[in-house]
């Protein structure tokens, strides 16, 4: 027991503090936590009722005195106190109370983050129990997680599509040569599906159902076989329960605008990148990471629009946290990538 306790002292953590999900990684155990970034609160008493997976199930199903909130918006902290409580809960869940020495934490953040937002992330982690906090930009972490040769004088292009932001970056010599950050990503796709079903079918659905539709039949490029899905919801006009059958082409139409924004950001980054680096990217291809990389046909659409070979990371949901973990485990090697 003593050896186990001693081995845990000062355990360092890597965190992907995402709008949709939070992941924690340790050098010894790999990914030790992967939960939705959702907190359920009691409005009357101001207490936290649930965090993570349990809290996500509350969304759209709570009585008036309880509300399920996502304390991060567009990749950054929107509610400081709730974020602090959520981080603290996740750290305690991983540490199991043996926090005699506070952990060092490396957290990945969007490239477009402001100084105020950086400070909010650092202070949240410190007040949640971290003794030291370092920040690394998400596309850099994704490149490291995918094993790209970031330290070489070669252009590496990464498109990381999370819940709140899409990060497009060209990396060379352990630095970001050009970055394009747009606050359009998985959440915007879900909202577009909700709006479309309300406008076209007078059907109200919740955020969780929109996400299920996106994952089941959502696509950015025409599919080889048509997919359909029965979607239950509430009739806007009379409030009665109803359902409609939706085809993949209709969902493609629903998410056309945010998908176009993501593709445009990728093309803009290419246009503004020096010619030598673009030549490298043309040879080596483009890496897709983040949950948005799982949208069917997105790789084909980006390949068509950019004339590049597009590679989806083997596990795009964990690319960023794996890279963040590598920076934590090899601080000397990756010291140039930290932004604070």
Give the start-to-end residue ranges of the domains of the chain.
Answer: 2-140+320-337, 148-184+261-317, 186-256
pTM, entire model: 0.89
* Tally of CB atoms within 10 A around 304: 13
Give the CATH superfamily of 148-184+261-317. Answer: ATPase, nucleotide binding domain (3.30.420.40)
Rounded Cα–Cα distance for residues 50 and 66 (Å): 10
pLDDT of residue 96: 65
pLDDT digit of tens for each residue in the chain (340 aa)? Answer: 333 433 444 578 999 999 999 999 998 899 999 999 999 999 888 788 999 999 998 887 878 888 888 999 888 888 888 998 898 889 888 876 545 578 899 999 988 788 988 898 898 888 888 889 999 999 999 999 999 999 999 999 999 999 999 999 999 999 999 998 999 999 999 999 999 999 999 999 999 999 999 999 999 999 999 999 999 999 999 999 999 999 999 999 999 999 999 999 999 999 999 999 999 999 999 999 999 999 999 999 999 999 999 999 999 999 999 999 999 989 889 988 999 8
| Residues 247, 254: Cα–Cα separation, whole Å | 11
Q: Is domain 2-140+320-337 annotated with CATH 3.30.230.70?
A: no
Are the C-beta atoms of 155 and 278 separated by less than 8 Å?
yes
CB 243 within 8 A of CB 228: no
- Which residues does 144 contact at the CB level (< 8 Å), separation at least 6? 150, 322, 323, 324, 326, 327, 334, 337
Ordered alpha helix ranges (H), the chain: 2-8, 53-58, 80-95, 115-127, 138-145, 186-201, 207-217, 248-254, 256-271, 275-284, 298-306, 319-329, 331-334
- One of 3.30.365.10, 3.40.50.300, 3.30.1490.20, 3.90.640.10 is the CATH number of 186-256, namely 3.90.640.10
Tell me whether the CATH fold assigned to 148-184+261-317 matches the one assigned to 186-256.
Answer: no
């Amino acid at each position: 027991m003593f050896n186990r306790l001693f081995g845990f002292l000062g355990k360092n953590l890597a965190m992907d503090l995402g709008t949709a999900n939070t992941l924690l990684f340790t050098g010894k155990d790999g990914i030790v936590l992967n939960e939705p970034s959702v907190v359920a609160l009691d409005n009357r008493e101001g207490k936290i009722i649930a965090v993570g997976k349990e809290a996500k199930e509350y969304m759209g199903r709570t009585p008036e005195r309880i509300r399920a909130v996502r304390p991060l918006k567009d990749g950054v902290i929107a509610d400081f106190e709730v974020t602090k409580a959520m981080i603290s809960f996740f750290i305690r869940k991983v540490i199991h109370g043996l926090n005699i020495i506070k952990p060092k934490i490396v957290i990945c953040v969007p490239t477009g983050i402001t100084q105020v937002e950086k400070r909010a992330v650092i202070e949240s982690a410190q007040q949640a129990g971290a003794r030291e906090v370092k920040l690394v930009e998400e596309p850099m972490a994704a490149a490291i997680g995918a094993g790209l040769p970031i330290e070489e004088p070669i252009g590496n292009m990464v498109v990381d599509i999370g819940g709140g932001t899409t990060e497009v970056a060209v990396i060379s010599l352990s630095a970001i040569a050009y970055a394009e950050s747009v606050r359009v990503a998985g959440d915007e796709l879900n909202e577009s599906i909700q709006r479309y079903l309300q406008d076209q079918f007078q059907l109200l659905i919740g955020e969780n159902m929109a996400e299920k539709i996106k994952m089941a039949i959502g696509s950015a490029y025409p599919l080889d076989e048509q997919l359909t899905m029965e979607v239950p919801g509430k009739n806007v006009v009379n409030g009665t329960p109803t359902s409609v059958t939706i085809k993949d082409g209709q969902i493609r139409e629903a998410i056309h605008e945010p998908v176009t924004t993501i593709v445009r950001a990728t093309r803009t980054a290419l246009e503004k990148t020096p010619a030598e680096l673009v030549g490298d990217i043309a040879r080596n291809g483009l890496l897709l990471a983040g949950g948005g990389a799982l949208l069917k046909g997105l790789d084909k659409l980006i390949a068509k629009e950019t004339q590049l070979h597009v590679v989806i990371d083997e596990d795009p949901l964990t690319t960023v946290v794996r890279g963040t973990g590598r920076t934590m485990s090899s601080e000397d090697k990756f010291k140039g990538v930290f932004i604070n």
